[in-house]
Structure 1
Amino acid sequence: MLNYIWASLILIGLLVAGLLGRFTGDQGVITAALEMSKTAVMDIALPLAGMMMFWLGLMRLMEKAGLLHFAARALSPVMRRLFPDVPRDHPAMSAMIMNLAANMLGLGNNATPLGLKAMTHLQELNPHKDTASNAMVTFLAMNTAAFTLIPMTVINYLSAAGVKGAYQIIVPTILATACTTLTAIFVAKALQKLPMFRIRPGEGDSPLASRIPGTDPAAPAAEEPPAETPRITARGRIFLAAILILFTGGVVLELAAPSLRQSVLDATGLTQVIRSAEQRAASAKADAAARAAEKIKAAEAAKATAPATGQNTAPASATPAEDLSTSGLIRRLMDGASGVAIPLLVIITLGIALARRVKVYEEFVEGAKEGFGVATRIMPFLVAMLAALAIFRSSGALLLLEHVLTPVLNRVSFPVELLPMALMRPLSGSGSLGILNELLARNDILEYLKYTAAIMFGSTETTFYVLAVYFGSVSIRKTRHALAAGLTADLVGLSMSVVIGRLMFA
């Protein structure tokens, strides 16, 4: 399934780019794909390597201190039901618990290294090394659901945008992520029983040969004859011809006079669609810039008037008067809970490890050595997925999909203003964050839609990114029903966000 989706993103993106004239240039699909490929390695994978080293080193200390074993035993009744194929005392169980706990606390990217470590341990139990096991699929589905107790990231963005009562989305987000998580688990368990998603005997790189008496695992494998290139079927020829014809049309529009493309866009009504989208984006950008300028002016005015009062100015750390309210108290409690979670974990781990005479420095370094290797393994998967998403988005295909789905969403009372968020959230974290900030900056939409957009952002994850990183870290090529489970959970999470947002804030 993933092969077809990945190819569709690129093919549709290139065909739409040919129609809209976005092959080349600063906003072209090629530039976007190359820039995103660079971002995948330089801004995602390499920084992730540093975090991986820190968290894997800390997990090594937790393992030596006995904390992982304690956590696994405490939660084993629940985890055993969710992951019956994983032994209770296996390191994978405790690693999964740590990852899920980090997601609940809203630790964001800090949860990723813990999840990658869990996938590594699950791969140790997997007899089919290139095919995702049932436990892997269930664990990844739960990660795409990302059950959260403290959605601090989205709360901070709401507060920065000046939305009142930002902490009112905590309970709605918990409810939405609970629905998403339950859906992810149910769908993953249900789909694994279907014949089309079952692991067939002999599928994957089974290590059974290494356990057969009389065989030498270290012996070089016999050279296999080169696989024959599959022949193109009649249906494949028709598909290939259609793609070439459509692409040729894009090339003609690219080489012909600009008036020809403009006449085609006018005839299809796409000119108005693109123009209205560009106007919305420009308006939102202008509103955001105006708000930022107002904040700067207000800060400068406060600094200018403070000495003139003749009173001693309060220190920067003083608590503002409005923070004495109930919402201010809740905010301090939530900020404090998120802020002390990691330091508390480090202190407890180091304290117990030292009390048990563990060589903390040597063990930390030993665990951290795995971090860079994991980061290099996920780079090709990240580049492949993010480059395809960049082509699809920059071509204008996402804009056209939004235009096509608008009438359908109007019939089911789904707010059209939130459609870009719903489409972008499973695809791109940075893209959906940009859409969220754009919605928060707009003055022409209702306040409850801003709350709903925040709930949508906090109740789902970037499914394609999670799938690429987690399975890429252990070289899984056959993902089975993982994508279907993740996208189904996203659909339920987005729908529940709209329902809960309308009930609580409309």
Structure 2
Amino acid sequence: MLNYIWATLLFIGLLTAGLVGRVSGDASVIDAAMKGAEKAVMGIALPLAGMMMFWLGVLRLLEKAGVLEAVVRVLSPLLRRLFPDVPTGHPAMSAMVMNLSANMLGLSNNATPLGLKAMGHLQELNPHKQSASNAMITFLALNTGAFTLIPMTAMNFLNAAGVSHSFRVIVPTILATACASMAAVLAAKSFQRLPGFVAQPDETVTETQSSEAKPAGITSKARRWLILLGTLFIGVSALELGPPSWRHKVLDQTGLSAVLAKSAQRKAEAEKTLALKKEEAKAAAATQAKVEPPVWRRVMDGASGLAIPAILILAVSVAWARGVKVYEEFVDGAKEGFQVAVRIMPYLVAMLAALAILRESGAFQLLEYLLAPVLNMLGFPVELLSLALMRPLSGSGAQGILNEILTRPDLSEMVKFTAGILYGSTETTFYVLTVYFGSVGIRRFRHALVAGLTADFVGMVAAVFFGRLLFAFT
């Protein structure tokens, strides 16, 4: 399924870019794809290698100290129901508990190394090494549901944009992520029973078969799609190679030129407003005495800051007290971190390059324009559509859209608070699946993508519902 989705995203991005004139020039989607590929390696995979080594070392100490065993023992009734295929006391249970706990505390990227470690242990139990197991899919569904106690990232964006009382998103985000997590588990458990999602035996291809293999013939259905794709590409090529008046005429007659111009203006104004607010905040901090933050904020910031030091002190002190050679065990645990980061690089490059093309092509703005009547009828704020579509695809892209929404003066506080809840109530599903499955070489995702997108959809609906319920009269 991911093959079709990846190719579709790529085609939509390229054809839309050709229509609006972003194939070449300053706003080229190809430049965006190259930057996305660079970011996949230099901005994500390599920094993740260091984090992987650090957290795998800490996890090794927690295992040697017996801390994880104690935590798993307390949670075993729940874990046995969620993961009946994982034996009690297996290291996968410990790693999954650490990962989900880090997500709940809002530790963001610090949860990823722990999740990758859990996937490695789950792959050891997987009888079909090329297909995702039921336990893997349930675990990733919980990551997609992303139950959160402290949505610190969303609150920081609200504060930076000048939206007061950002703490008001805490309770609705907890409720929305609870709904998303329950939907994720139900979807994972329900879809695994369907015949279309049954795990298949691994393919064994000998060297002789590989050398003699020939591409499959093109079916009549595929031929029709190729003709359609070729026709559309010829059309956008004519717009690219012909006089600029052709493209202007097409965009003006369809009303798309006004949509794109309005979107570009909103983005520029949002960036200007955000930069101004940051400068005002710096000036205020330089000229005024530091104001004592409210108690709730100080407690939350302190709790978030103490989470990792507390884990380190617990791991090292208990392991040391038990006679464990803490330095040597930490190093042994950290050794595999770099290899994991290298394994996921190709998957990250493929996904982030395609998403960069789609994001910069203007496809989201056009879709927002087309779906506006339907969304207004359903009571879904049209301004949140781009954020809802981008959130499962790209975290950085969603952050940019969130900043734009929060700094728009024409939007109500209800829409801005709802945007914060929506951002905090879902996860980057495609990134999670790409990184986690890529780390263990899974080729068949089975129902993992469907379960993840189900959790995303429920989380978004819950975010809009609670946003309207709590902030409609703000």
Question: Do Structure 1 and Structure 2 share a fold, with TM-score over 0.5?
Answer: yes
Amino acid at match of 1:403: Y
Q: Please give the secondary structure, in 2, of the residue aligned with 1:17.
A: helix
The corresponding residue for 2:315 is 349
Deviation (angstroms), 1:296: 4.0
The corresponding residue for 1:35 is 35
- Structure 2 residue 419 is matched with structure 1 residue 453: yes
The corresponding residue for 2:263 is 277
Distance 2:442 2:174 in 1: 31
The corresponding residue for 2:330 is 364
Distance 1:60 1:293 in 2: 44
Of 234, 238, 242, which aligns to 1:252?
238
Query: Superposition pairs for residues 190-229 of structure 1, below 5 Å?
Result: 190-200=190-200, 203-204=201-202, 223-224=208-209, 226-229=212-215
Distance 1:90 1:400 in 2: 49
* TM-score relative to the length of structure 2: 0.96
Of 276, 279, 296, which aligns to 1:290?
276
Distance 2:301 2:203 in 1: 47
* Offset from partner CA, 1:157-179 (integer Å, 9 cap, x none): 22232222211211111100000
Q: Which runs of 5+ in 1 are unaligned?
A: 207-219, 303-313
The corresponding residue for 1:239 is 225
Identify if the C-alpha distance between structure 1 residues 261 and 330 changes in structure 2 by more than 3 Å, giving closer, same or farther: same
* Offset from partner CA, 1:338-364 (integer Å, 9 cap, x none): 111110111011111001111111111
The corresponding residue for 1:431 is 397
Distance 2:258 2:351 in 1: 31
* Structure label with greater radius of gyration: 1
Amino acid at match of 1:14: L
Distance 1:398 1:290 in 2: 27
Distance 2:227 2:387 in 1: 35
Distance 1:297 1:169 in 2: 27
* Offset from partner CA, 1:288-341 (integer Å, 9 cap, x none): 233234334444554xxxxxxxxxxx6x6xxx25x3xxxx11111111111111
Amino acid at match of 1:155: M
Of 455, 467, 470, which aligns to 1:501?
467
Aligned 8 A contact 1:61 1:363 in 2: yes
Deviation (angstroms), 1:228: 2.6
Count of residue pairs the alignment pairs up: 471
Distance 2:207 2:24 in 1: 47
Aligned 8 A contact 1:102 1:110 in 2: yes
Aligned 8 A contact 2:160 2:278 in 1: no
Distance 1:229 1:162 in 2: 57
**Bigger CA drift: 437-446 or 468-477?**
437-446
Query: Superposition pairs for residues 99-114 of structure 1, below 5 Å?
Result: 99-114=99-114
Identify if the C-alpha distance between structure 1 residues 186 and 16 changes in structure 2 by more than 3 Å, giving closer, same or farther: same
Of 247, 258, 275, which aligns to 1:261?
247
The corresponding residue for 1:421 is 387
- Structure 2 residue 129 is matched with structure 1 residue 163: no
* Offset from partner CA, 1:66-94 (integer Å, 9 cap, x none): 11221221111101100110001111111
Deviation (angstroms), 1:134: 0.6
Q: Please give the secondary structure, in 2, of the residue aligned with 1:288.
A: helix
- Structure 2 residue 133 is matched with structure 1 residue 133: yes
* Offset from partner CA, 1:79-135 (integer Å, 9 cap, x none): 110011000111111110110111111100000000000000000001111110111
The corresponding residue for 1:17 is 17
Aligned 8 A contact 1:288 1:441 in 2: yes
* TM-score relative to the length of structure 1: 0.90
Of 381, 393, 406, which aligns to 1:440?
406
Aligned 8 A contact 2:359 2:397 in 1: no
Query: Superposition pairs for residues 28-67 of structure 1, below 5 Å?
Result: 28-67=28-67
Amino acid at match of 1:358: V
Distance 2:226 2:308 in 1: 53
Distance 2:279 2:335 in 1: 46
* Offset from partner CA, 1:459-479 (integer Å, 9 cap, x none): 110111111111111111110
Deviation (angstroms), 1:156: 2.0
Distance 2:234 2:433 in 1: 34
Deviation (angstroms), 1:411: 0.6
Q: Please give the secondary structure, in 2, of the residue aligned with 1:130.
A: coil
Identify if the C-alpha distance between structure 1 residues 205 and 105 changes in structure 2 by more than 3 Å, giving closer, same or farther: farther
Aligned 8 A contact 1:177 1:493 in 2: yes
Identify if the C-alpha distance between structure 1 residues 442 and 221 changes in structure 2 by more than 3 Å, giving closer, same or farther: closer
Aligned 8 A contact 2:144 2:426 in 1: yes
**Bigger CA drift: 228-237 or 344-353?**
228-237
Distance 1:50 1:241 in 2: 47
Query: Superposition pairs for residues 372-387 of structure 1, below 5 Å?
Result: 372-387=338-353
Amino acid at match of 1:265: L
**Bigger CA drift: 288-297 or 38-47?**
288-297
Distance 1:480 1:123 in 2: 15
Deviation (angstroms), 1:239: 1.1
Amino acid at match of 1:441: T
Identify if the C-alpha distance between structure 1 residues 475 and 284 changes in structure 2 by more than 3 Å, giving closer, same or farther: same
Amino acid at match of 2:314: I
Aligned 8 A contact 2:122 2:135 in 1: yes
Aligned 8 A contact 1:127 1:205 in 2: no
Distance 1:428 1:63 in 2: 33
Q: Please give the secondary structure, in 1, of the residue aligned with 2:314.
A: helix
Amino acid at match of 1:278: A
Distance 1:270 1:364 in 2: 57
Distance 2:272 2:156 in 1: 21
The corresponding residue for 1:310 is none
Deviation (angstroms), 1:418: 1.4
* Offset from partner CA, 1:429-469 (integer Å, 9 cap, x none): 01111111122212211112211111111111011111111
Distance 2:236 2:163 in 1: 44
Distance 1:221 1:237 in 2: 31
Deviation (angstroms), 1:42: 0.2
Distance 2:278 2:59 in 1: 41
Distance 1:167 1:204 in 2: 49
* Offset from partner CA, 1:270-299 (integer Å, 9 cap, x none): 111111111211222222233234334444
Aligned 8 A contact 1:426 1:461 in 2: yes
The corresponding residue for 1:479 is 445
Identify if the C-alpha distance between structure 1 residues 233 and 158 changes in structure 2 by more than 3 Å, giving closer, same or farther: same
- Structure 2 residue 70 is matched with structure 1 residue 74: no
Q: Please give the secondary structure, in 2, of the residue aligned with 1:135.
A: helix
Aligned 8 A contact 1:128 1:205 in 2: no
